[in-house]
Structure 1
Amino acid sequence: MTILNTPFNTTYNTAPFSQIKDTDFLPAFKIAIEDARAEIDTIISNKAEASFQNTVEALEFSGRQLDRISSIFFNLNSAETNDTIQKIAQEVSPLLSEFSNDITLNEALFKRVKAVYDRKDSLNLTVEQQTLLDKKYKSFSRNGANLPEEKKQKLRTIDKELSQLTLKFGENVLAETHNFEMLITNEDELSGLPEGVLEAAKQLAENKNKEGWMFTLDYPSYIPFMTYADNRALRKKLAIAAGKKAFKGDALDNQNNVLQIAKLRFERAQLLGYQTHAHFVLEERMAKTPAKVEKFLEELAVKAKPAALREFKELQEFAIELDGTVDLQKWDSAYYAEKLKQKRFDLDDEQLKPYFKLENVINGAFKVAQKLFGLQFEEIDTIDKYHNEVLTYKVTNTKGQLISVLYADFFPRAGKRNGAWMTVYKPQFVKEHTNERPHISIVCNFTKPTKTKPSLLTFNEVTTLFHEFGHALHGMLANTTYPSLSGTSVFWDFVELPSQVFENWCYEKDALELFATHYQTGELIPMDLVQKIKDSSAFHEGMQTLRQISFGLLDMSWHGIDPTKITDVKTHELEAFEGTKLFPDVKENCMSTSFSHIFQGGYSSGYYSYKWAEVLDADAFEFFKEKGIFDHEVATKFKDHVLSQGGIEDPMVLYKRFRGKEPQPEALLKRAGLIEK
């Protein structure tokens, strides 16, 4: 018995990170799996007729300890991993895959669930109970319960292989990200880089006991270099290093992993009676079919491509005019775009950063949430942390009742994967008349403080923080009965709505006035800068939209077809990108081998959902703007009909209840400058 298998004697029942040893995880998983098996056996052996309560609800609340241990472990594997944790992950993932199959392929258990499902119309269930029953039944029927024994065994083998391959894919990307370092010792090669970037690079080198300035593939180091460095050869070096992650033909190469994952997913879908993996996935999405996704992306491309081609031609001409660069390459894009933006709007990130001290931006997100939803955030130090950089907060409502615990982890470090995400350590649910409140975490990789400056965010980092905080609000304000329907447990192409809509407040004067003050003088951000932020918000939106469409098409090219004949990852990728390509290809680079969203995360056949949700978020924010961005009535509707409802109903039903009608794409096209306002 480990500490993970006992009730946590902690504040708000939070994870006791300081008491957990890495070596606790494997035995804890094994104990929790056996306990969960016993709970399943109790459901099956119940002599009473199968009912919603003794079968479906009992199944929903079984394995809670296992779920909790899994949340803690796999979140650490993303944010604070090490060799031991990665080794355990490779050992544990097949065990969890096998246990999951043991449930979905258990004939006696499925028989009881089906008995309830067949009588659903006569059971007088609530909407949420009906959704749970439907979800449980489909979790069996969509995952092999109706297969003959021989095919069930095949499914087990595939799932076990997939669990190991996706983990290996992620480990390789993480290792590649942290293996690359570019040390510059000649100060002349640093021309163009802002003082704060140079200070951070010098500190990074010092931390590694080296002289000079160090740059890495972590975003706070990589992005500023690509944006500001005048040295084109070094921009090229860094860009190629980023683009060839896990594409070098060595021990960390992901080409075979990509091919195997795509083929196994296809094989699994076929086994279950679906045409492709995308057909399987999209059945449980708002989009429903690959054809609808492709039509959505194609229609968006028709609007975006003319604008993207205009913007690209303009960028080419600007590069020639500025310094005679005639062969515009991928490593030139951010550099010349920033120069053009500065020229057109008299605006650059270095002007803005002093007004976006990290602590102020966090408080700004809190103030916006307070004005919209009545939430209070109090930083507390009575909660265990998995790293000393993590901040912890108690979130309460206007009555002082606990709404959530919030963890916030903002800076890059070894053992932490790149990017930004929101996650859950404990979901919200109601059990035995107690509303169990959630434990939510946001994880980012922002610019670190230096010896002379606090963490000052780029505007892109500001919107990233608001984005992840939007996801966090979806988790924190959850108010459902069942954990599997709570918070962000919604259709994948709906999950980005709360996060993307929350970004809109970053562009609004009334919101910026709450937090955008100069870190030294306390001066409020000048309103002419706010106007420039708004004016530049659609800058290069055509190129950005086409880029997102290209990622969605690449995803569908792996998952919406039979991939068994694909033998070369790079060749396949070039074909997928053909219709959206602007820059010349870089032969050393390949995106698929580090496309973690679709090969390790949950976005396979779902990358389109970012653009899909943008239609929803633009339409939703139009509603806020009509009434005022802090309008209490609109905010309450959004909280009551979207944020608190999780997945208890079809998302379009929830959205229409909030908005009064289906979303209109015109709002997005106007905001992006792709049609006239």
Structure 2
Amino acid sequence: MLKRLQRQPWTCPQCIRHQRDVGKRRLVISSNAKGAAAAAAVADDYRPASRAAPSIAHDDRTLRQIFDSPHVWKEFSSKKKHHYRGKSAGLFQNRYLTHPEGFQDFAAVTLTKCKRIVAAVLSYQTNDELKRVARALDRLSDLLCRVIDLSDFVRSVHPDRKVQAAASQAYASMFEYMNVLNTTTGLNDQLKRAAAIPEVYNSWSEEERTVAAILIKDFSKSAIDLAEIDRQAFVEISNEVAQVGNDFVENMAAEKSILYFESSRLKGMDPLFVRQMTKWGSVSLPTVGMPATIALRAVEDANTRREIYMANRTSSRTNLQRLEQLLKRRAELASLSGYESFAHMTLTDKMAKSPEAVTSFLDALAVENAPRAKDELRQLLEVKKSDARAGTLPAEMNAWDRDYYTAQLMSTLRSKARMPDFLAAYFSLGTVMQGLSRLFHRLYGIRLVPRETLRGESWNPDVRRLDVIDDHEGHIAVIYCDLFERQGKSPNPAHFTLRCSRRISEEEIHEAAEFSSQSGSLFATASEAANDGLATNFNSRDGNALYQLPTIALICDFSLPPASNSNRPTLLSFREVTTLFHEMGHALHSICGRTALQNVSGTRCATDFAELPSVLMENFASAPEVLALYARHWETDAPLDPSRIQERVEVDRRMQGAEIESQVLLGMLDQEYHSRSPLTWADGGDGRESTKVYQSVWNKYSLVPEPAGTSWQGFFGHLFGYGATYYSYLFDRAIAGKIWRDVFQRAPGGATDPAAGQLFREEVLRHGGGRDGWRCVAGALGDRSGRLAEGEKGAMEEVGKWGVHS
């Protein structure tokens, strides 16, 4: 399809369990001698990989200050507010978006450009004209994305309802036009015609060939090759899948929402917490959510835990019916399109290629993980044996026992590791951002430079703008950092690409000059008009051609500094530090994946490749040589002893085997649900069919059998957004672990080794989605056997054998 869907923010298991730490501290400048010495040590320790820019040290200090001090940020960001003489520069400096009505102007101008391209492509006849098809359709896709991606983001984050409504209207109008284009057979015919002519195909760059293949597959998946009656059926089923899928996710609930207990049965839970749920002498315990989770970890009575577990894992029958309808319709959609199953249809353009390859990967990973998972289970059984309340079967681990004894074991480990909340004192938000910039500079020769926002450029005063500067290429990207909590804001961390990298042709600049003359003084130059006012720069890697720069929004939900002490910054828990590193990994992919075509820019790559840079970045958060770049105490500036982080990491990974086993089970279940089997299910089922599959997978692969009667699949929301691709996160974790060990830990200090960074940037990051993921992995690992580069089932199995060790 011409508009490739934006990557949905992945919610990993760690994020689901994540609870933000409270009681954070803020920065005050230490005036004692020890603090001064430590500060001097920081300055001396920071030796930039390149001294190409004389302002590096100044930018480095300013970066920390604008995130740690609201006062400094207010002063810094007001420097250019006098420009435009009170006029808005437009959201993201998009000159159309200076007022709500501008969204409609933006959409209208874009629509005019799109229609010109469509008319031109449909008129192509000669080979020279057909050589332009791939690039023309990529630009058409880019124009759609410019409006759809930006409007979708603005309508979800902007506080002004008029702006929200205007953005929603622009989004809807362009989305409707996109659906028209996706069923315009002439565009598909012209693309296939061009790709079938050797002279045309051979003239295309690797990126153009990749984009052409992507668009041909996307057209095919939208049933454009089917007869009219079948195409109409495809559209109807697709609409039903979208509606039912959304209903499934929004209505996840337990069959029994409340359990009633005498308070004595909840012994082990915090009495104050229990009292909050008590009325008329009875405790009303919600079966889903934090109360049930806490109860399963804390309640001493095994029979009570069993009752809670069964209710917590039994989905509402109505939602199970929705799930079965979703899976059945997806199977019908695949069959209508000529695929054996929905998984086969979905995986054709992924690294895995087929469900058989996914199963091969998961089987190999399960075998590799089994010894670790069994050892962890043995440890839990040892804890249970020492429990006088374990009953007559202390040698067996029941499903409702696992969380309880895991909590006991982890409590003991954390106590031995002496890990109070002191770690947050070393991670002010400013120092972490400073550390990320220093790390990027050492590894990739790029750094984060604070930039004043113009009037109207951002959607909230707390949003900081950073320009990404390359030592050799100059300005290469823009990041808008919306990192602080506020009412109504989504708590989920995420990375959004608002505008992709793409080469702007001379023809577009001439076209922009024409539009600019019609729009009066909206744009100062034709180059500015060509990108709607957003950032551009010349790309020395591509003959100094003009490029639109990746424009990124980074969203987190960190606590604001307490108003009572303005000198203290926001302090992050180590889990929040890791989250920020993860999201910056996505941003890094967008920043460095500066391709000439937007369909393969940055994170626009195969779903099972998209998480690799972000998962890899998590490893850097705890590496001693990286901690040395930034982890300083907010009061004394004393460096953090890296062994304290290693203690924390070791504890967090202590039960990793069980977590991987759980993710393998979910990956297996996802594949089973998206096989051909739903075609045999009756319409309007009551959940029995999907429950049979769920119970079968769990009891075949799990070390702890699932009790009969549960139907947890009704809570598996990722089945909608990641249908047939849930394995991706484990897959990328396995690859990231291998690259971490073989590239960045090959020698002491490897996490800050410029040679390692250059290798990863050149082999993986810079290609975005323009190079097959297997070739990227093979290049980074120096694999000369050819097995990895070829991909296929054998390569998937090999990745599974690497295991997940991070």
User: What TM-score bracket applies, with the shorter chain setting the length?
Assistant: 0.7 to 0.9
The alpha-carbon deviation at position 467 of structure 1 amounts to 1.4
Cross-structure match for 1:503: 618
CA distance in 2, matches of 1:438, 1:624: 26
More deviation in 39-48 or 498-507? 39-48
Q: Does residue 731 of structure 2 align to residue 609 of structure 1? A: no
Q: Does residue 544 of structure 2 align to residue 425 of structure 1? A: no
CA root-mean-square deviation: 4.6
Residue pair 1:228, 1:335 contacting (<8 A) in 2 also: no
Q: 1:491 aligns with which of 591, 606, 609?
A: 606
State the one-letter code of the partner of 1:520.
E
Cross-structure match for 1:626: 746
Q: Does residue 256 of structure 2 align to residue 137 of structure 1? A: no
The alpha-carbon deviation at position 484 of structure 1 amounts to 0.3
CA distance in 1, matches of 2:504, 2:312: 48
* Structure 1 residues without counterparts, runs of 5 or longer: 1-7, 181-187, 199-204, 206-214
Spell out the pairing of 1:76-95 with structure 2 (5 A cutoff): 76=154
The alpha-carbon deviation at position 278 of structure 1 amounts to 0.8
The alpha-carbon deviation at position 451 of structure 1 amounts to 6.2
SS in 2 for 1:626: coil
The alpha-carbon deviation at position 409 of structure 1 amounts to 3.3
Q: 1:407 aligns with which of 473, 480, 493?
A: 480
- Structure 1's 463 and 335: CA in aligned 2 closer, same or farther, altered over 3 A? same
Residue pair 2:497, 2:552 contacting (<8 A) in 1 also: yes
CA distance in 2, matches of 1:29, 1:589: 49
Cross-structure match for 1:149: 228
Residue pair 2:674, 2:723 contacting (<8 A) in 1 also: yes
The alpha-carbon deviation at position 285 of structure 1 amounts to 1.2
Residue pair 1:507, 1:533 contacting (<8 A) in 2 also: no
Question: What TM-score comes out, normalization by structure 1 length?
Answer: 0.78
The alpha-carbon deviation at position 646 of structure 1 amounts to 0.9
Residue pair 1:226, 1:334 contacting (<8 A) in 2 also: no
CA distance in 2, matches of 1:240, 1:342: 26
State the one-letter code of the partner of 1:638.
F
More deviation in 275-284 or 88-97? 88-97
Q: Does residue 580 of structure 2 align to residue 442 of structure 1? A: no
Deviations 1:121-156 (A, max 9, x none): 653322222222222222223432321111111122
CA distance in 1, matches of 2:149, 2:91: 16
CA distance in 1, matches of 2:185, 2:230: 14
Residue pair 1:470, 1:501 contacting (<8 A) in 2 also: yes
More deviation in 348-357 or 538-547? 348-357
CA distance in 2, matches of 1:240, 1:385: 46
Residue pair 1:319, 1:336 contacting (<8 A) in 2 also: no
Q: 2:466 aligns with which of 393, 405, 420?
A: 393
Q: Does residue 659 of structure 2 align to residue 544 of structure 1? A: yes
Give the number of aligned pairs.
626
Cross-structure match for 1:363: 434
CA distance in 1, matches of 2:764, 2:288: 34
Which has the higher relative contact order, 1 or 2, with Cα contacts under 8 A spaced 6 or more apart? 2
Spell out the pairing of 1:462-477 with structure 2 (5 A cutoff): 462-477=577-592
The alpha-carbon deviation at position 321 of structure 1 amounts to 4.0
Residue pair 1:286, 1:491 contacting (<8 A) in 2 also: yes
The alpha-carbon deviation at position 636 of structure 1 amounts to 1.0
SS in 2 for 1:480: coil
Q: Does residue 461 of structure 2 align to residue 339 of structure 1? A: no
Q: Does residue 177 of structure 2 align to residue 58 of structure 1? A: no
Q: Does residue 371 of structure 2 align to residue 315 of structure 1? A: no
The alpha-carbon deviation at position 13 of structure 1 amounts to 5.1
CA distance in 1, matches of 2:163, 2:719: 22
Q: Does residue 421 of structure 2 align to residue 350 of structure 1? A: yes
Residue pair 2:764, 2:777 contacting (<8 A) in 1 also: yes
CA distance in 1, matches of 2:637, 2:183: 62
Deviations 1:377-433 (A, max 9, x none): 123341533344443322212258222111233456665555433221111111123
Q: 2:450 aligns with which of 357, 370, 379?
A: 379
Residue pair 1:406, 1:440 contacting (<8 A) in 2 also: yes
Spell out the pairing of 1:260-279 with structure 2 (5 A cutoff): 260-279=325-344
Residue pair 1:227, 1:338 contacting (<8 A) in 2 also: no
- Structure 1's 307 and 278: CA in aligned 2 closer, same or farther, altered over 3 A? same
- Structure 1's 354 and 217: CA in aligned 2 closer, same or farther, altered over 3 A? farther
Deviations 1:632-657 (A, max 9, x none): 12211211221111122212222223
CA distance in 2, matches of 1:414, 1:598: 29
Residue pair 1:550, 1:580 contacting (<8 A) in 2 also: yes
Spell out the pairing of 1:274-313 with structure 2 (5 A cutoff): 274-313=339-378
Q: 1:45 aligns with which of 123, 130, 148?
A: 123
More deviation in 387-396 or 656-665? 656-665
Spell out the pairing of 1:508-527 with structure 2 (5 A cutoff): 508-527=623-642
Residue pair 1:78, 1:415 contacting (<8 A) in 2 also: no
Q: Does residue 597 of structure 2 align to residue 482 of structure 1? A: yes
SS in 2 for 1:395: strand
Residue pair 2:138, 2:599 contacting (<8 A) in 1 also: yes
State the one-letter code of the partner of 1:377.
L
Cross-structure match for 1:457: 572
CA distance in 1, matches of 2:161, 2:673: 30
The alpha-carbon deviation at position 479 of structure 1 amounts to 1.8
Q: Does residue 714 of structure 2 align to residue 649 of structure 1? A: no
- Structure 1's 248 and 10: CA in aligned 2 closer, same or farther, altered over 3 A? farther
CA distance in 2, matches of 1:168, 1:346: 45
Residue pair 2:493, 2:557 contacting (<8 A) in 1 also: yes
- Structure 1's 532 and 476: CA in aligned 2 closer, same or farther, altered over 3 A? same
The alpha-carbon deviation at position 351 of structure 1 amounts to 4.5
CA distance in 1, matches of 2:559, 2:374: 32
State the one-letter code of the partner of 1:473.
L
CA distance in 1, matches of 2:182, 2:664: 35
Cross-structure match for 1:639: 761
State the one-letter code of the partner of 1:117.
A
Spell out the pairing of 1:134-283 with structure 2 (5 A cutoff): 134-169=213-248, 226=294, 248=316, 254-283=319-348
Residue pair 2:361, 2:798 contacting (<8 A) in 1 also: no
Residue pair 1:90, 1:167 contacting (<8 A) in 2 also: no
The alpha-carbon deviation at position 170 of structure 1 amounts to 5.2
More deviation in 356-365 or 590-599? 590-599
SS in 1 for 2:751: coil
The alpha-carbon deviation at position 493 of structure 1 amounts to 1.5
Identity across matched positions, percent: 23
Q: Does residue 597 of structure 2 align to residue 597 of structure 1? A: no
Residue pair 1:486, 1:646 contacting (<8 A) in 2 also: yes
The alpha-carbon deviation at position 349 of structure 1 amounts to 6.1
- Structure 1's 283 and 167: CA in aligned 2 closer, same or farther, altered over 3 A? same
SS in 2 for 1:644: helix
State the one-letter code of the partner of 2:442.
K
State the one-letter code of the partner of 1:442.
L
CA distance in 2, matches of 1:580, 1:88: 50
Residue pair 2:151, 2:171 contacting (<8 A) in 1 also: no
Cross-structure match for 1:573: 694
The alpha-carbon deviation at position 589 of structure 1 amounts to 8.1
The alpha-carbon deviation at position 596 of structure 1 amounts to 4.0
CA distance in 2, matches of 1:216, 1:481: 53
CA distance in 2, matches of 1:13, 1:70: 15
CA distance in 2, matches of 1:633, 1:425: 31
State the one-letter code of the partner of 1:356.
F
- Structure 1's 288 and 591: CA in aligned 2 closer, same or farther, altered over 3 A? same
